[in-house]
A and B are shown apart, each in its own frame.
Chain A
Amino acid sequence: MLRSLISSATTGPTQEWAGRILLANSGYISQQRGRRRTLTPVPWLPPIKEHIPKNSFDLSQKTKNLLDDVIKKETLAASALARNDSQETNVAIIDIPHSSRRVGLVVRKIGMLPQWTNDGNRILCTVLEVDENHVVSVTSPDSWYKASAVGKRKAFNRHGPMWRVTVGAGNDDPTKYTLAYRRQFARAGVPTKEKLGCFLVTEDALPHAGQPLDARHFAVGQHVTATGKTIDWGFQGGMHRWGMRGQPTRRTTKSHRRIGSVGSVGDARIWPGKRMPGHMGYEWRTVSGLEIVRINNDKQVIYVKGSVPGDIGETLLLKDCLQDEKRLKSGPVPTWAPTLETIQEESELSPEEIVVPKNLLFNETFSSKLFRFTSPSIVFTDADAKRATGRDKTKAKIAKVKK
């Protein structure tokens, strides 16, 4: 039951499609009251997937091919339109002020890979694919907060008014979707998207509707925040869900993984929020401070150091990291565009390294500390050995021991 990211109430006259607001719960870990996730969307949401009843006679093969051609042409026309009118937007690499928020990317986790640093240590990286991201809609603060279930302060907070930018990922066959769903893409001149995600962006970094987003929106060495739904474990007991210790296997009857007592006699009730067995996982979680070590521009793939919430194949929202020391100093605002294409200077190669011609390799950018597989094995020198011996902490102790 793959669930797309659309599950939010929409009221108001214009059937403006709004994805769920995915701002991380601001800073403090709020005590989750009531249900932590809604598995069944509310019934008044208009359906997304078109339910096509099968008629008794089929289209002939010729018409089917014609239908496919037309759909392909439409997608091509839409993305071509989106590409050429994104040229004239003024895109620049500037220093990002403290209170400004850039747009993020809707990515898919496709697996985990080990990479090695130049001093031989192994880093386990998550591989995230940026699958044809386009900006679908940009709505002003007062119009979006009125049409959604959140309060005014979410739109007008201490960082200034926040615009809501909806980003779509993954072109899909439009015949699968209802007209209401497709209308938002036609309005933005963008091919029909399978997944949607939205970001709160400040005024100074606003992209325009229909703008394609690229993996180079983020830079190598920058830190990002990944928000996504965790793996759906289903109904799990206290030991797996909350890490309770359970009971011993011997000398206990019928209780080895139970949660034991649930409170004291005096309360005569069970406190709300008591940790009990129940549905585990499939909740929104945010992991921030993930360092980007490698970006493959040809395949639009980002390697992020560490793990991200969610199963393989699930979609995630990548945003700039907001932790003070890991914050992005300067980057392409509002987003990357081909006009910013800079010619990387030839990185200095040690003489005996065989130079592999550019056309045989992917167009990739590496972090400086990452080992390139095109270079020969690592050989340590005495310099490395000396740097390894850290501060000698035992001297103080020895002095104390001497009588």
Chain B
Amino acid sequence: MFRPAAREVVKLPTRYFSCKSEPTRAVTATKKASREEIAGLIPAFPEIYPDFLQSPVWNRRNALKEELERQDMLERRMNIDIPEFYVGSIVAVTSSDKNLGSKEHRFVGICIRREKEGLLHQFTLRNTIENIGVEVLYDLYNPTIKKIETLKLEKRLDSDLSYLVDALPEYSTFDFHMEPQAHPAGTPIPVNECKVKLKNPPWTRRWEISSYRGIDDTWTQATPWYKRKLHKTLVNDYEKYDLIANYRTSSTKEQEVFVQTQMQKFEKERHAAGLTRRRILKSAASYK
């Protein structure tokens, strides 16, 4: 059933159609170059801080709610150092656990998914223990998390590694006592181009249809039954050409600049008040 989304169009700045009797000329001469010089902004902001993006659903983008949510998130980031990590980086999470004797629980794994925005932001770590694949989902802002460390900062060819479930176990086994590999500050983030081999089908999802670049060819392994039925499957990869559908769910530069300035303001206040010297808005690639 199609649920009708927001009734109101997101209130854009003054201009609607220019068919009013006086078509206001576009704001001329805002130098494109001036946008880049805004001090201290990170171009790859949506990749490093996916939780600070707006919700893809237009109806849920409310400035006041986002401001309150951002206040909580920044407070939390003052108390726990949330490092920069991407889908594909190896991350260790120590969280306090009521049941264990030592009251502390540590899990190391490769981050395969980062979902949702704001305080709801979740990331999933995957590891293979005694050749049993284990995935653990963590809320980034859950107060029981005590420490998050990025053992290996790297990216993969895809922004979603859910296919590791069907891949050979060797691709998702990481040693729990692996010591962190420091990422030289200022150098770009390495992209690990390794192509993953999958187990024999049946798979959890039809990987041969989706255009993942991180899997070497799935077509030969796919079961013949699915291949015969391929002409019936609904393949709508033309959706990626729909510019405005993409625009509706993606974030805009103005919004990013606004959020980053808010974070800088928060950071400056806290430094001025002498509460901490921690930096919130930071990027390993463009570290100055």
- List chain A positions with a Cβ less than 8 A from chain B: 1-2, 58, 110-111, 113-114, 116, 119-120, 122, 127, 129, 231-234, 236-237, 240, 296, 299, 301, 311-313, 354, 356-357, 360, 362, 371, 373-381, 384-385, 388
Q: Are A312 and B68 in contact (CB under 8 A)?
A: no
Report the nearest A residue to B67, measured CB to CB: A299
Which stretch from B139-147, B155-163, B171-179, B225-233 is at the chain A interface? B139-147
Q: Are A311 and B59 in contact (CB under 8 A)?
A: yes
When the two chains form the complex, which single residue of A313, A374, A379, A381 contacts B79, counting CB atoms closer than 8 Å? Answer: A374
Given contacts A234-B4, A301-B64, contact A373 B75 (CB under 8 A): yes
Q: Are A376 and B79 in contact (CB under 8 A)?
A: yes
Report the nearest B residue to A232, measured CB to CB: B4
Q: Are B69 and A113 in contact (CB under 8 A)?
A: yes
Q: Please, which residues of chain A bring their CB within 8 A of the CB of B1?
A: 233, 236-237, 240
Question: Min CB distance, A114 to chain B, in Å?
Answer: 5
Q: Are B103 and A380 in contact (CB under 8 A)?
A: yes
CA distance A58 to B105 in the complex (A): 69
Q: Please, which residues of chain A bring their CB within 8 A of the CB of B8?
A: 2, 313
- Report B124-154 residues with CB < 8 Å from chain A CB: 139, 141-146
Q: State whether the Cβ of B32 lies closer than 8 Å to any Cβ in chain A.
A: no
When the two chains form the complex, which single residue of A2, A114, A362, A377 contacts B146, counting CB atoms closer than 8 Å? Answer: A377
Q: Are A377 and B97 in contact (CB under 8 A)?
A: no
Report the nearest B residue to A131, measured CB to CB: B64
Q: Are B76 and A373 in contact (CB under 8 A)?
A: yes
Q: Are B68 and A113 in contact (CB under 8 A)?
A: yes
Q: A129-B64, A299-B64 are in contact. List 17 more A-B contacts (CB 8 A).
A: A1-B7, A120-B96, A299-B67, A299-B68, A312-B62, A313-B59, A357-B273, A360-B273, A374-B75, A374-B79, A375-B79, A377-B80, A377-B143, A378-B96, A380-B98, A384-B98, A385-B99
Q: State whether the Cβ of B275 lies closer than 8 Å to any Cβ in chain A.
A: yes
CA distance A100 to B69 in the complex (A): 37
Q: Are B68 and A371 in contact (CB under 8 A)?
A: no
CA distance A232 to B7 in the complex (A): 10
Report the nearest A residue to B118, measured CB to CB: A113
Q: A interface, by DSSP: helix, strand, loop or mixed?
A: loop
Q: Are A385 and B98 in contact (CB under 8 A)?
A: yes
Q: Are A377 and B145 in contact (CB under 8 A)?
A: yes
Q: Are A114 and B120 in contact (CB under 8 A)?
A: yes
Q: State whether the Cβ of B245 lies closer than 8 Å to any Cβ in chain A.
A: no
Question: Min CB distance, A32 to chain B, in Å?
Answer: 22
9 shortest interchain CB distances as A-B pairs:
A111-B65, A373-B75, A120-B144, A110-B62, A110-B65, A380-B98, A240-B1, A377-B146, A371-B143
Report the nearest B residue to A371, measured CB to CB: B143
Given contacts A313-B59, A362-B71, A384-B98, contact A114 B139 (CB under 8 A): yes
Q: Are B103 and A296 in contact (CB under 8 A)?
A: no
Report the nearest B residue to A116, measured CB to CB: B143
Report the nearest B residue to A117, measured CB to CB: B143
Given contacts A58-B21, A360-B273, A380-B97, contact A116 B142 (CB under 8 A): yes
Q: Are A313 and B62 in contact (CB under 8 A)?
A: yes
Sorting the interface of chain B by its residue count into under 10, 10 to 19, 20 to 34 or 35 or more gives 35 or more
Contact with A along B73-94 (1 / 0, CB 8 A): 0011011100000000000000
Q: Please, which residues of chain B bring their CB within 8 A of the CB of A296?
A: 68
Question: Min CB distance, A229 to chain B, in Å?
Answer: 12
Report the nearest B residue to A357, measured CB to CB: B273
Q: State whether the Cβ of B60 lies closer than 8 Å to any Cβ in chain A.
A: yes
Q: State whether the Cβ of B270 lies closer than 8 Å to any Cβ in chain A.
A: yes
CA distance A167 to B177 in the complex (A): 62
Report the nearest B residue to A353, measured CB to CB: B79
When the two chains form the complex, which single residue of A116, A127, A360, A385 contacts B68, counting CB atoms closer than 8 Å? Answer: A127
CA distance A299 to B67 in the complex (A): 10
Q: Are A113 and B119 in contact (CB under 8 A)?
A: yes
Question: Min CB distance, B274 to chain A, in Å?
Answer: 10
Q: Are A354 and B275 in contact (CB under 8 A)?
A: yes
CA distance A380 to B145 in the complex (A): 11
Q: State whether the Cβ of B170 lies closer than 8 Å to any Cβ in chain A.
A: no
Q: Please, which residues of chain A bring their CB within 8 A of the CB of B97?
A: 380
CA distance A2 to B145 in the complex (A): 42
Q: Please, which residues of chain B bring their CB within 8 A of the CB of A129?
A: 64
Q: Please, which residues of chain B bring their CB within 8 A of the CB of A362?
A: 71
Q: State whether the Cβ of B252 lies closer than 8 Å to any Cβ in chain A.
A: no
CA distance A313 to B276 in the complex (A): 37
Question: Min CB distance, B38 to chain A, in Å?
Answer: 24
Report the nearest B residue to A303, measured CB to CB: B68
Q: Please, which residues of chain A bring their CB within 8 A of the CB of B270?
A: 360
Q: Please, which residues of chain A bring their CB within 8 A of the CB of B216?
A: none
Q: Please, which residues of chain A bring their CB within 8 A of the CB of B62?
A: 110-111, 312-313
CA distance A173 to B27 in the complex (A): 27
Q: State whether the Cβ of B26 lies closer than 8 Å to any Cβ in chain A.
A: no
Q: State whether the Cβ of B72 lies closer than 8 Å to any Cβ in chain A.
A: yes
Question: Min CB distance, A341 to chain B, in Å?
Answer: 22
Q: Please, which residues of chain B bring their CB within 8 A of the CB of A111?
A: 60, 62, 65
CA distance A378 to B146 in the complex (A): 8
Question: Min CB distance, B236 to chain A, in Å?
Answer: 21
CA distance A374 to B69 in the complex (A): 13
Q: State whether the Cβ of B6 lies closer than 8 Å to any Cβ in chain A.
A: yes
When the two chains form the complex, which single residue of B72, B103, B276 contacts A379, counting CB atoms closer than 8 Å? Answer: B103
Q: Please, which residues of chain B bring their CB within 8 A of the CB of A356?
A: 75, 273, 275
Q: State whether the Cβ of B36 lies closer than 8 Å to any Cβ in chain A.
A: no
